[in-house]
Structure 1
């Protein structure tokens, strides 16, 4: 059976529900319908305080740890950029540019040595050409 790809907002809502496992319980208890929850999520957004009661405590901790990891990663990249030597980077860019130019030159040589075949002009060879009497 071929699976259909869902609309991106529906995919985002599915991941939102995974982060808020108590939503599933409330739908099973018939407190809410999926339609109501989706519309609220779409209108209010994922950061609305309404959703805090549906989060699992372990999920909150995992999200907090994920945000901390992202901040550490950004700080690491920022530190690497600060430690770069601008002259060295410029030198590497120039070398890369020269290498690309050399490759383009080789490609142009190969294209020039193999010109496309030229078809001779064909005369009108109509096998049904009859002259009038």
Structure 2
């Protein structure tokens, strides 16, 4: 297979788009086309003031990373502080509660199998009577 080598300016434009991620959303919304953006970038250059609104602020990027790392650290702390015996006891109690509820349903005939079984015996499609 032959590989196409892309023009160096296209590679530079791709790097520019990575630095300005809001351009992608503009194209996806249909407000801009890649060809238009490439031509503007080629003519105006990377440092033009018109590109500032498409640049993701460094503070926004850092705050997103901080939120992710903060969430992960809180999750790890919660896992470390968990008592395995206490969790096991809670699961055991929950299992017993569910079993009790299932037993109540089966005692009062509230299960799906019991209600459909009764209706089959009552409505026999071939009922014969003596004359």
TM-score norm. by structure 2 comes to 0.51
Q: 1:89 aligns with which of 87, 90, 100?
A: 87
Q: Hey, what's the Cα distance between the residues in 2 that align with 1:30 and 1:96?
A: 61
- What residue number does 2:36 align with? 30
Greater helix percent: which structure? 2
Higher relative CO (Cα under 8 Å, sequence separation at least 6) belongs to 1
Q: Hey, what's the Cα distance between the residues in 2 that align with 1:116 and 1:109?
A: 15
Q: For structure 2, which runs of at least 5 residues remain unmatched after alignment?
A: 1-16, 40-50
Q: For structure 1, which runs of at least 5 residues remain unmatched after alignment?
A: 1-15, 34-52, 125-133
Displacement, 1:61? 2.5
- What residue number does 2:22 align with? 21
TM-score norm. by structure 1 comes to 0.50
The answer (yes or no) to whether the contact 1:20–1:56 under 8 Å persists in 2 is yes
Aligned residues: 88
Cα 1:90–1:123 shift into 2, 3 Å: same
